Chain A
Amino acid sequence: MMSRRTKVLTAFAAVAALGLSACGGVGEDDGGDGNGNEDSGAAAEFNSALTEVFNPSEEQGGTLKMGKPGDWGDTVDPGETYYGYSWNFTRYYARPLVMFNPVPGKGSQEIVPDLAEDVGEPSDGGQTWTYTLKDGVTYEDGTEVTSEDVKYAVLRSTDKETFPSGPAYFEALLDLPEGYQGPFKTPDMDTDQAIETPDDKTIVFHLKQPFAGFDYLAQLPQTAPVPADKDTGAKYREHVISTGPYMWDTYESGKRYVLVRNPEWDQSTDDLRKALPDRIEVQLNMNPNDVDNQMISGDLHMDIESIGVQPATRGRLLNDPDLKAMSDNPVASRLQYTSVNPTVKPLDNIECRKAIQFGMDRSAYVTAYGGPIAGGDPATTIMPPTIPGHVDFDVFPAGETGDVEAAQEALEACGQPDGFETNIAYRAERPQEKAVAEAFQQSLERIGITANPKPLPQGTYFTETCGLPPYVVKNNIGMCLNSWGADWNDGYGFLSQIVDSRVIRETGGSSNTSVRIPEVDEMLDEALAELDDAAREQLWGEIDRRVMEEAVIYPGVHGKVLLIRPQGVTNVFVNESYGQYDFMSLGVENP
């Protein structure tokens, strides 16, 4: 056992590391610190909760304490959520038509029915999708859920003046009448051409064009029913009417949320939710380092943000075997990449873009993100391996650290044998991106390209600088560091926002800043209409390759996150669809 003094010194050293980069720590730990969770049933190991349920239990009761650094990023109104943790969280009280199977491992790729009796039934070559609701599902006030409520919920979510933060897939795909502005502004407009409810239990979606992956849309919280007479629009978030096992007790904006058991919820209608705790408390706006510390001490059960531990904590977790055994390292389905802007000279020439592909040291990219555990794996494709359809290929094989010769040749082909000068933009608040920008600078210097790192504020990165096409041209920003996570683990979810040229807005705000390939747009449309899963998935892989051939994206890292496995909690596992622990499966140990 450590002496008291050693403990204090260790504590100081750990805290002193705050704000320092995590890669430095070489901890010589005697391993005697009894910080492990001896009281939990299973032996804890690194990645214990990735492929199976850790500490399984059926015991009910207790209060599950969740915390969030910063405020809730979007809202808790199922009609207006976009963050993965929101989708993970809303399932406590909102039942969408279908959802990703809440099981560990690859099983979560399967979509299973929740509010509906079965997954969607396509017809019309994938242009019409029909769902039938389960019997006996009620709101917290005992009223029975009808298909009309689901229709209303979807329609209201298309009112982007009221709900600007939610995804816009439905209004883009549903065959809504011209001029439809949602049920608040155009209440009398007939919307049956888009959504039909032939009876109380049946709902039929009519799309503008075939969309093979509609079940992915139906799993969005936007399909969770909302009773029209209880809807308060933008204020509905303050009391969402529950259909799940928990209902809202307290909503204090920016401070805390409390959910309590919903007495009207019937387990017999719901084989996906265990509903173990009696009460769920969420504390908002916590200090990120404090969140990590409370997770380790067990004062907090779940870090809602789930984007990986802070740099200071990372060093501690990796260097202390006891702490490492209580952490998991799931794949995040996130790509850290760099947009290579073909609108900026001389990168309008593909050969110059190839020079960058060959010239960059990819291992430096991984290092910048914290190495293979905290950062992830080197990426040569856009789609992460977790996405069905992913093909492992490398269009510009350059070894681990780049191929200077091939890069040189590309430069000559481009007519810039002596290299050129350009700027590489990154988000000033992100030290990893800074490190990557500097790695680009150093790597490209080898072939005569001067890439000047250019920090830009994160808050306006997409709206006013990197995502604003005229800006990058005017400021000679040849490259923009970027990061993308899938809306869901599917080629469409992953690719549509970053490779479809039609999402680029000249007024700024898009995540896609460099991919403008008409052929890719067509391929996306084709894949959308392909009802055969295997054929569709193959198309995603082809799109990935086609974009890479244009060398407008430099893929860096397929991200992984390092999470602290909650202490004093049962039924812990990572749901791969979210890359997070499955919130609604958690129970409290010894409540």
Chain B
Amino acid sequence: MSPGRPAKPTIVFAYIVRRVIAAIALMFVVSVIIFSIFYLVPRLAGASPETLASRYVGRAATESTVKVTAERLGFYDPIYVQYGDWAKGVVTGAEYDMGPVTEQCPAPCLGYSFVNRQPVWPELVDRIPVTFSLAIGAAVIWVIFGVSVGVLSALRRGSFFDRFAMVIALAGVSLPIFWTGLVALFLFSYRWEIAPPGGTYVPFLDNPFEWAAALTLPWITLALLFSAQYARLTRAGMLETMNEDYVRTARAKGLTERRVVTKHGMRGALTPLVTIFGLDFGLLIGGAILTETAFGLNGLGKYAVEGIRANDLPKIMGVVLVAAVFVAVANLLVDLLYAVVDPRVRTQ
């Protein structure tokens, strides 16, 4: 390949296709694993179809109620048939008997919550914007805040600012979001009443200002954790990069220190952060479980918690698969983005 040329579009396209196929294979494996954990493992541990079905009926349900429920949920079928039914629903959609009516669950029917009597997919779609709103705002805050603190700390290594910032960062990394979230709510919403109470969410398209106002507290809480992490990573990266030969070269060229730091130092130090950021963001979309729970935001993470609490497998399957998709997409984007920011990767 001639030097300096980016990869040809066809090669990039083939690469993406390959990655997408790998991601679909990953989805398959993930779904089999989750399915096994919730259906096969209890069966192997000696649970009967009736014991499984007991989870979905009232506590005082009669034996026959349990039996019809087990029948209805297909628990008497072999596990691969059950998985096959589920997988078929994903591809072709499925129908569910509601008594006098039949409910259609169009493809991709990621399952049907027997607890809520709701198909999982529309609920997931409904919750993605909440999680995405939470993640995007927090990400903006933590990147700006974490990176600038990290850079300043590295440049003033050993100064009071550096030590102070790193102590705060350590605290930020160590404090559980569940706790910081409650403290934040307690102080800002109930004590001083300058933030809306927990559980407030206004869609962006309804009113962007209220959207931001309602999410500010969760953003900051979530960003606190990540800012701390990113400040530490940035600081370490900057310290390493500022000792690189190429930074010395930049200085030898007579560049101003500001330009040395911003153009040469930060470019080197922040590039590896792209990877970490992509993965963090992908995982976060898959479910900021603690933040959503602490602030009562109806996002994917909380949906998963509801599913786990109610033993509602289709919900859990849905969230895990959607999360896996986001992580896979984030991975792909990170790899593509890395090729943009790091020319050494591009030509390989």
Contacts and interface: CB of A to CB of B under 8 A. Distances in A.
A18 B180 CA distance: 11
Q: Taking each of B60, B71, B118, B193, which has the highest tally of chain A beta carbons within 10 Å of its own beta carbon?
A: B60
A71 B296 CA distance: 11
A463 B57 CA distance: 10
B148 interface: no
Contacts of B189: 293, 297, 299
A160 interface: yes
B198 A287 contact: yes
A8 interface: yes
Chain A, interface size category, equals 35 or more
Interface stretch (A227-235, A346-354, A417-425): A227-235
Nearest to A67: B199
Contacts of A507: 48, 50-51, 54, 63, 66
A287 to B, nearest CB: 5
B98 A162 contact: yes
Contact of B61 (A7, A286, A509): A509
A175 B16 CA distance: 66
Given A254-B303, A293-B186, A235 B60 contact: no
Interface string B77-114: 00000000000000000000111110100000000000
Contacts of B183: 11-12, 15
Interface in A204-260: 231-235, 237-238, 253-255
Given A233-B100, A297-B190, A286 B306 contact: no
A164 B65 contact: yes
B194 interface: no
Given A71-B310, A235-B101, A497 B60 contact: yes
Contacts of A159: 99
A290 interface: yes
Contacts of A71: 115-116, 306, 309-310
Interface residues of B, number: 57
A287 B293 contact: yes
Interface in A283-305: 283, 285-287, 289-290, 293-294, 296-297, 299-300
A287 B296 contact: yes
A289 B54 contact: no
Nearest to A19: B179
B64 interface: yes
Contact of A290 (B48, B69, B197, B310): B197
Nearest to A487: B60
Contacts of B99: 156, 159, 162, 182, 184, 231-234
B54 A462 contact: yes
B274 interface: no
B150 to A, nearest CB: 28
B175 to A, nearest CB: 12
A160 B294 contact: no
A548 to B, nearest CB: 23
Given A160-B64, A509-B66, A233 B98 contact: yes
Contacts of B328: none
B118 A460 contact: no
Interface string A53-76: 000000000000001001100110
Interface stretch (A166-174, A374-382, A383-391, A514-522): A166-174
B203 to A, nearest CB: 12
B54 A509 contact: yes
A184 B100 contact: yes
Contacts of A297: 189-190, 193, 197
Contacts of B345: none
Interface of B: 42, 47-48, 50-51, 54-66, 68-69, 71-72, 97-101, 103, 115-118, 123, 179, 182-183, 185-187, 189-191, 193, 197-199, 293-296, 298, 302-303, 306, 309-311
27 contacts: A15-B183, A67-B199, A70-B306, A71-B116, A74-B58, A160-B57, A161-B72, A164-B56, A164-B58, A171-B62, A233-B97, A233-B101, A235-B117, A254-B116, A254-B306, A283-B296, A286-B199, A287-B293, A290-B294, A299-B197, A464-B51, A507-B54, A508-B51, A508-B54, A509-B51, A509-B54, A509-B61
Given A164-B61, A287-B296, A300-B197, 14 more contacts: A11-B191, A74-B58, A82-B60, A165-B57, A233-B100, A233-B101, A234-B98, A254-B298, A285-B296, A290-B197, A293-B190, A294-B190, A459-B311, A463-B54
Ranked 8 nearest A-B pairs via Cβ:
A233-B99, A463-B54, A160-B65, A164-B57, A162-B99, A233-B98, A290-B198, A184-B99
